[in-house]
């Protein structure tokens, strides 16, 4: 079926007032989990073809992460989907007040290429679990993974409940021309702006999961070996193609040299000194991004690394020394295995670096000084982050994941995903055995009593 047919198919389902019951949703979530497990080897192969992604990283960040979220929904959906009672206002006494979680209807999910399996199916699964009909547009830059996602979805879901549309930016534009009840987009700020403009034309609510330049701040009061281990992991995971990867370091001037040495030692321990073994390195997604990243490297002073393999699209971990704030690498999100290292002596130095760019998606601070970490966490606006580690805040499904300002609008994961894709319908059920006449006209001699009641009863 083409886009019009798929859209009309879901619209007809909704217009006949058919609801997807919680029991049906659970049935399909279990089928989806089973199909993912059956296709585990195919997922590894698809991500190897698209990104040369190591199997360990594929399971940790794509398969295992998604399965954990599906399991959470299977355990909790019945509870989450029940009407939620709230304390009634005393002015409405007697009444029962509650919230109904109602699906929006038709949800469009547009997903990226960097974690192409998990970042496509997690929001799509969450939207469906909330009772919505879903159209998923995966990335054209990871075609093998997108094709596999389509096969899995077609095996699990009838097309009127969930379907996949493959294609390039033109297909995405055609989809955005349709009237949706909710749009969920993960990708770049530039495309996010296009999605927002399109949604605004029909007053469609949306979530934008974007990116930005996420700093890691390293104070002098810290364990440099542990810091280097955690930074190298977070930065070079997926070859830096992670929206919450530490984009650059701001290091206390007194320890900069020592930290750089520890980073180099850790890189060589992690990836093999000569990079002859690439089994733990993810490829750059395409030639366009490979060229962009190598240009960024060549524009700056290299402390370490700088090597690349054009044929296989590998760029090996690279450290840059104090790039200028007006350089390209300090103005755009790097999204690759390049780590600029800057220095500071006082908080105002950090201000001058971080405030040059819009609010980051993540921020990381390393210090054993609680006063320092508290100051940093509360001084800057960012989506989320970690103290003395990187990226790990994503592992807790009880924490919202999302940006602020240019780094995103809205957040999800766990129960928050269910709530994100649900309209919260407020209901007050008034009793008929008692009726307070105060609110009814005529109002003569009632104002004084009204003031007292509103002050004390709220």
Distance (Å, rounded) from C-alpha 50 to C-alpha 113? 9
Is residue 33 scored above 70 in pLDDT? Answer: yes
Looking at the structure, tell me whether residues 33 and 78 fall in a common domain.
Answer: yes
380 Cβ partners below 8 Å, 6+ apart? Answer: 354, 359, 360, 363
Establish if 230 belongs to a structural domain. yes
Catalytic choice (57, 69, 163, 243): 243
One domain for residues 39 and 114: yes
How deeply is 336 buried, as exposed, middle or buried, from its count of CB atoms within 10 A (0-12, 13-18, 19+)?
A: buried
How much is the pLDDT for 84?
Answer: 97
Q: Tell me the C-alpha distance between 282 and 239, whole Å.
A: 5
DSSP string, 89-126: PGGG-SEEEEEEEEE-SEEEEE--SSSTTHHHHHHHHH
Instruction: Tell me, yes or no, whether 51 lies in a domain.
Output: yes
Kind of pairing between the strands at 408-409 and 162-164: unpaired
Give residue 200's domain range: 3-210+409-423
Q: Which residues of 384-400 are buried (b: 16+ CB within 10 A; e: fewer)?
A: bbbbbbbbebbeebeeb
Residue 454 clears pLDDT 90, i.e. is over it: no
Mean pLDDT calculated for residue range 167-179: 96
Q: Is there a single domain that holds both residue 172 and residue 317?
A: no
Are the beta carbons of 206 and 185 closer than 8 angstroms? yes
Q: Burial letters for 289-311: b for 16+ Cβ neighbours within 10 Å, e otherwise? A: bbebbbebbeebeebbbbebeee
Tell me if 458 is assigned to some domain.
Answer: no
List the one residue out of 334, 290, 337, 335 whose CA is nearest residue 312.
290
Domain C-terminal end among 346, 364, 398? 398
54 and 171 assigned to the same domain: yes
Model pLDDT, residue 458: 62
In a domain, 66, yes or no: yes
Residues 76 and 42 in one domain: yes
**Same-domain status, 334 and 352:** yes
What does pLDDT average to over the chain? 96
Which residues are bridge partners to 430 per DSSP?
95
Confidence of residue 440 (pLDDT cuts 50, 70, 90): very high
Q: Residue 164 in 3-state DSSP? A: strand
Q: How would residue 431 be classed by pLDDT, with cut points 50, 70 and 90?
A: very high
Catalytic status, residue 209: yes
Question: Once rounded to an integer, what is the mean pLDDT over residues 394-420?
Answer: 97
Q: Is 336 helix (H, G, I), strand (E, B) or coil?
A: coil
Exposure on the CB side of residue 70, measured as CA atoms within 13 A: 24
Residue 1 has pLDDT above 90, yes or no: no
Distance CA 404, CA 208 (A): 10
Same-domain status, 164 and 293: no
Torsion sign, CA atoms 263, 264, 265, 268: positive
Kindly state whether residues 254 and 346 are assigned to the same domain: yes
pLDDT of residue 187 exceeding 90, the answer is yes
User: What's the pLDDT tens digit per position in 280-336?
Assistant: 999 999 999 999 999 999 999 999 999 999 999 999 999 999 999 999 999 999 999
Are 12 and 139 contained in the same domain? yes
Does residue 278 or residue 253 have the better pLDDT?
253
Would 173 be classed as within a structural domain? yes
In a domain, 71, yes or no: yes
Query: What mean pLDDT do residues 246-253 have?
Result: 99
Residues 80 and 205 in one domain: yes
Q: What is the CATH number of the domain that holds 248?
A: 3.40.309.10
190 and 246 share a domain?
Answer: no
* 99 and 152 fall within a common domain: yes
> Exactly one of 57, 62, 69, 209 is catalytic; which is it?
209
Counting Cα atoms < 13 Å in the Cβ hemisphere of 303 gives: 20
For residues 88-104, average pLDDT = 92
* 58 has pLDDT over 90: yes
Is 382 in contact with 244 (CB distance < 8 Å)?
A: no
Residue 243 annotated to the active site:
yes
Asked if residue 447 is part of any domain, the answer here is no
The pLDDT of residue 369 is above 70: yes
Is pLDDT larger for residue 8 or for residue 259?
259
The CA distance from 76 to 71, in Å, is 9
What is the number of alpha carbons within 13 Å of residue 91 lying toward its C-beta?
12
Q: How many domains does the chain have?
A: 2
Q: What is the domain-level CATH number for residue 195?
A: 3.40.605.10
Tokens of 235: 């930065």
**Given the structure tokens 């007040």, which residue do they identify?**
97
Domain assignment present for 76: yes
pTM for the whole structure: 0.96
């Amino acid at each position: 079926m083409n886009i019009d047919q798929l859209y009309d198919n879901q619209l007809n389902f909704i217009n006949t007032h058919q609801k997807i019951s919680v029991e049906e949703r659970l049935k399909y979530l279990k089928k989806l989990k089973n199909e993912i497990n059956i296709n585990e080897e195919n997922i590894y192969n698809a991500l190897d073809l698209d990104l040369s992604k190591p199997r360990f990283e594929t399971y940790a960040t794509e398969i295992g992460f998604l399965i954990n979220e599906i399991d959470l929904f299977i355990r909790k959906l019945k509870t989450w989907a029940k009407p939620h009672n709230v304390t009634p206002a005393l002015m409405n006494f007697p009444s029962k007040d509650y919230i109904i979680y109602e699906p929006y209807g038709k949800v469009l999910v547009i997903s990226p290429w960097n974690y192409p399996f998990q970042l496509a199916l997690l929001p799509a699964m969450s939207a469906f679990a909330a009772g919505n009909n879903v159209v998923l547009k995966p990335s054209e830059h990871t075609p093998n993974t997108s094709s596999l996602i389509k096969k899995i979805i077609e095996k699990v879901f009838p097309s009127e409940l969930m379907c996949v549309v493959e294609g390039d930016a033109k297909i995405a534009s055609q989809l955005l021309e349709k009237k949706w009840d909710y749009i969920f987009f993960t990708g770049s700020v530039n495309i996010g702006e296009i999605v927002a403009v399109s949604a605004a034309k029909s007053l469609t609510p949306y979530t934008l999961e974007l990116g930005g330049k996420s700093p890691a701040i390293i104070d002098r009061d810290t364990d440099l070996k542990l810091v280097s281990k955690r930074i190298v992991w977070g930065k070079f995971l997926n070859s830096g193609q992670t929206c919450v990867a530490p984009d650059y370091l701001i290091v206390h001037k007194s320890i900069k040299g020592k930290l750089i040495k520890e980073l180099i030692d850790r890189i060589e321990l992690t990836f093999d000194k000569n990079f002859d073994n690439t089994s733990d390195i993810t490829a750059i997604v395409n030639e366009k991004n490979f060229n962009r990243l190598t240009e960024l490297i060549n524009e700056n002073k290299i402390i370490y690394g700088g090597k690349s393999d054009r044929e296989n699209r590998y760029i090996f971990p690279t450290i840059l020394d104090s790039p200028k704030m007006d350089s390209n690498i300090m103005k755009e999100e790097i999204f690759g295995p390049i780590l600029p290292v800057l220095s500071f002596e006082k908080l105002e130095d950090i201000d001058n670096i971080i405030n040059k760019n819009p609010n980051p998606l993540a921020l990381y601070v390393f210090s054993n000084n609680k006063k320092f970490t508290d100051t940093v966490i509360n001084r800057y606006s960012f989506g989320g982050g970690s103290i003395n580690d990187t990226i790990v805040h994503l592992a807790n499904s009880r924490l919202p994941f999302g940006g602020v300002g240019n780094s995103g609008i809205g957040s999800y994961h766990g129960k928050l995903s269910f709530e994100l894709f649900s309209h919260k319908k407020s209901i007050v059920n008034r009793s008929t055995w008692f009726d307070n006449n105060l609110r009814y006209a005529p109002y003569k001699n009632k104002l004084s009593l009204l003031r007292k009641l509103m002050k004390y009863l709220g």
